[in-house]
Amino acid sequence: MSLLDYLLPYDFSPLTVLSYMLVMGFYGVGLIRMPDQDRPGSLRIFAFTLGVLICYAVMQTRFDYYAQYMFFVHRGQHLILHHIGPILIALSNPLPVLRFWFEKIRPGWRRALRPLGWVYQVLQQPFIALFLFVGLIYFWLWPSIHFDAMLSRELYWVMNWSMLLDGLLFWWLIFDPRPPAITSSLGYGRRMLVLAAAGVLQMFLGAWIVFSRDMVYDVYEVCGRAWPLDPEVDQLLGGMLTYIPPAMMSILGILLMLRRAMHQDGKYTNQSKQLEETAS
């Protein structure tokens, strides 16, 4: 196999390629056209691009082939789509680019788009966001549903896209750079609680897969593996990918939130105190 075979999609999805091209296109044009003082630094641009690229790579290169026929590669794919990719994108804070494009939308259109904002606000309620984030992992890993999703091309695409979109929503809620003291973003305490709950719930599932004595996901057995790997090893590796990295990411997220909270501790309250003092 040539290098090209590894880079070209195994299962070409025009809609997926188009979506990624639009995202990168809008991001790039936004960057060039926006005023200099708003433009994110090169590290942030790099993080965003890397996040988008790895999500694209696991969906539209040869990686997808191995993800379809190996359980542990599939778990790696979801680790990127639901965790690492969206985390990089959220940490890169693409808000200035989004704001730039939002201001370009005509007021009439903005009104028409308002229901979308309502849906977004409902989805970003901490409890709903947590339920969706963990619920989707459990849903697609439910053995009978997982079986169907790996057999049906349509379901497979729905699965991967739902994981990616939900990952973006969830990690944006967590890493929203706007300080909660002065904006409507979620408070740091709640963010940490949501992260801890998500971590624990994922650990339950991961541990269950790791310590299962029987084959839980036999679709890979039935449909053939990409290479002859011992089914138990495959399941063990896949379980560990569900178990350890997501738990680690929850803890890292909590640490990051703690740091931010300590950084901003007193910043806004002192400011308001000063304001009060000058006023009186």
Partner 1 sequence: MRTRFWRQRTNIISATLTLIASLLLTGCFGNDEEDWNGKNISGLMPELEFDLINSQGKSVSGDDYSGRVRMLFFGFTSCPDVCPTALQKLNQVTSGLDPELQDEVLTLFVSVDPKRDTPERLAKYVDFFGDNIVGLTGKEPQLRQLAKRYRTTFGYEEPGPDGNYAVSHSSAIYVFDREGDPRLLMRSDLSAEEIRHDLVALIQEDS
Q: Contact residues for partner 1 (CB under 8 A)?
A: 10-11, 65, 68-69, 147-148, 150-153, 155, 218, 221-228
The amino acid at residue 227 is W
Q: How far is the CB of 57 from partner 1 (least distance, A)?
A: 20
Q: Which of 95, 229, 222 is nearest to 146 (CA)?
A: 222
Residue 197 or 229 having the CB closest to partner 1: 229
Q: How far is the CB of 227 from partner 1 (least distance, A)?
A: 5
Quote the CA–CA distance of 185 and 177 in Å, as a whole number: 8
Residue 74 or 83 having the CB closest to partner 1: 74
Q: How far is the CB of 107 from partner 1 (least distance, A)?
A: 23
Q: How far is the CB of 257 from partner 1 (least distance, A)?
A: 41
Quote the CA–CA distance of 54 and 132 in Å, as a whole number: 23
Residue 18 or 223 having the CB closest to partner 1: 223
Q: How far is the CB of 211 from partner 1 (least distance, A)?
A: 24
Residue 11 or 265 having the CB closest to partner 1: 11
Q: Which of 159, 3, 174, 7 is nearest to 77 (CA)?
A: 159
Q: How far is the CB of 115 from partner 1 (least distance, A)?
A: 15
CA 160 to chain centre: 11
3-state secondary structure of 82: helix
Residue 190 or 218 having the CB closest to partner 1: 218
3-state secondary structure of 245: helix
Residue 38 or 221 having the CB closest to partner 1: 221
Quote the CA–CA distance of 226 and 191 in Å, as a whole number: 40
Q: Which of 212, 262, 259 is nearest to 235 (CA)?
A: 212
Site of tokens 């979801």: 78
CA 19 to chain centre: 16
Q: Which of 260, 1, 17, 62 is nearest to 161 (CA)?
A: 17
